[in-house]
Amino acid sequence: MSEGTSRLSGFHKLTPAERAERLARLAGLGPEAAAHYAAAAGDQLALADRLVENAVSTLNVPLGIATNLLIDGREILVPMATEESSVIAAVGNAAKRCRASGGFTTATSGNEMIAQIQQLGMPDPAQVRLKVLERRSDIKAVCDAADPVLLELGGGFRDLEIRVLETAEGPMVITHLIVDTRDAMGANAVNTMAEAVAPRLAEWTGARTHLRILSNLADRRLVRARAVWPLDEIGGAGVRDGILSAYRFAEADPYRAATHNKGIMNGVTAVVLATGNDTRAVEAGAHAYAARDGRYRSLSRWETDADGNLAGALEMPLAVGLVGGATRLHPTAQQNLQVLGVETAAGLARIIGAVGLAQNFAALRALATTGIQKGHMALHAQNVALLAGALGEEVDALAAALVQAGEVRQDVAERLLRELRARKG
């Protein structure tokens, strides 16, 4: 901001267009900045204003389609929203290479989410724990009354789990409400239940309740995906062994595992976003699950099958929904769900699991063979060409020249663009 204060009284009461104008003025950007915000949002401005506070526009992320996926015997086209080059191509390529062996096989462990209720400041945590357990049927009744729609759909309270935590301020009793949230991601659903149950717990046990919130470590909502890549599809036993060594590196080293899992999330997050689901919730769950035994590890497992082919498996929490949040409100998310042809949250999770595994295969194969930069650079070169100011046909020509020069950098791009234009006259 060029001048003034960030204390903008009444900003939230303005329309998005008025906010954009005020913002442009405050930032010293001129009227074209407000026009840019309006044009970028197109017909999504009213929706943006409903979804978030102080909306001025939308940030459009490219939406592409991953092809070749054969998942549980079904041919699936997968919309992916990502700004990162190579991600969508990598999924399509990995999926093509495992079609001969049947594509991906997937499953889920269920639709159960966990809400946590914290109780603290008690001298007798073991007693409090038992008093909560004795109220199981009362707790079920409170939870189910909080969401009759979910109950009607066959969801609702499933179980209770009580843990006593030793903490820096003494013992705490943590009650887990385990709730089947069916086709909803379920954060609001279980948070509402936790807030309804908490005062009753205080009443029944005499112990003070504090936080009431879901856990994003959705380890009762796991997706599992597996596939086999035949040796002749991956470039032979040497490539297989190279992939296995890369995987073992990730298993042994959290520095490597973080990047290995980031590759999986390149695929996962892109489909989560394309369907209007909560990317942060899925990412938090994935990384917490990767560290569940006390050390951060790979979310996938790689091995050789009885025929010597490369077998991969991915297991991770995946709390996604078809209702609730932005999914139902966003027309593009709705359309993407139609393209996917899914009718349940579990069906969506299964596709996302397959995409995560495909992405992991592609990254491992690239790393174990030519290195990640070769494929990346061809697409990255296009971005660098655009940044250097290339227009129309110049973009491809400049990108090719950058790759050929082996130096995909903006300063080189600017120089080559000047030379290209000089040659053209």
Q: List residues binding ligand NAD (CB under 6 A).
A: 147, 149-150, 153, 155, 181-189, 191, 214, 216, 278, 281, 321, 323-325
Q: Which C-beta is closer to ligand NAD: that of 21 or that of 147?
A: 147
Which one of the listed residues 49, 72, 84, 283 is annotated catalytic? 84
Q: Select 86 or 215, whichever has its Cβ closest to ligand NAD.
A: 215
| In the complex, minimum distance from the CB of residue 69 to ligand NAD, in angstroms, rounded to a whole number | 25
Closest to ligand NAD by CB, 122 or 150: 150
Q: CB 350 → ligand NAD: shortest distance, Å?
A: 17
Q: Which two tokens stand for residue 36?
A: 């840019």
Task: Give catalytic status of residue 376 as yes or no.
Answer: yes
Query: What are the two backbone dihedrals, phi and then psi, of residue 228, each rounded to the nearest 5 degrees?
Result: -120, 130
Q: How far apart are CA 284 and CA 37, in angstroms?
A: 31
| Shortest Cβ 193–ligand NAD spacing (Å) | 9
Secondary structure (3-state) at 174: strand
Q: Which is nearer to ligand NAD, 189 or 264 (CB)?
A: 189
Shortest spacing between CB 243 and ligand NAD, in angstroms: 33
- Respond yes or no: is residue 84 known to be catalytic: yes
Catalytic residue among 36, 96, 131, 376: 376
Nearest approach, Cβ of residue 279 and ligand NAD (Å): 9
Mark whether 241 is an active-site residue: no
User: Residue 153 or 202: which CB sits closer to ligand NAD?
Assistant: 153
What does the alpha-carbon distance between residue 77 and residue 341 come to, in Å, rounded to a whole number?
A: 9
Q: Which residues pair with 320 in a beta bridge?
A: none
Residues 324, 346: contact at Cβ < 8 Å?
Answer: no
CB of 98 to ligand NAD, least distance (A): 32
CB-wise, 192 or 383, nearer to ligand NAD?
192
Among 278, 287, 330, 394, the one annotated catalytic = 278
Nearest to 372 by CA among 384, 383, 364: 364
87-105 residues labelled b (16+ CB within 10 A) or e (exposed): bbbbbbbbbbbbbebebbb
In degrees and rounded to multiples of 5, residue 299 shows phi and psi of: -80, -15
Please confirm, yes or no, whether 330 is among the known catalytic residues.
no
Cβ atoms 192, 181 nearer than 8 A: no
Q: Give the nearer residue to ligand NAD in terms of CB position, either 275 or 359.
A: 275
- Would you state the torsion angle of the CA atoms of residues 86, 88, 89, 93, taken in this order, to the nearest 10 degrees? 130
Taking the C-alpha atoms of residue 271 and residue 355, their distance in angstroms, rounded to an integer, is 8
Kindly write down the DSSP assignment for every residue of 72-104, as one continuous string: TTEEEEEEEE-SSTTHHHHHHHHHHHTTTTT-B
CA pair distance 235, 88, nearest whole angstrom? 21
- Nearest residue to the partner ligand NAD, using Cβ: 324
Half-sphere exposure of 92 (CA within 13 A, CB side): 12
- Catalytic residue positions? 84, 262, 278, 376
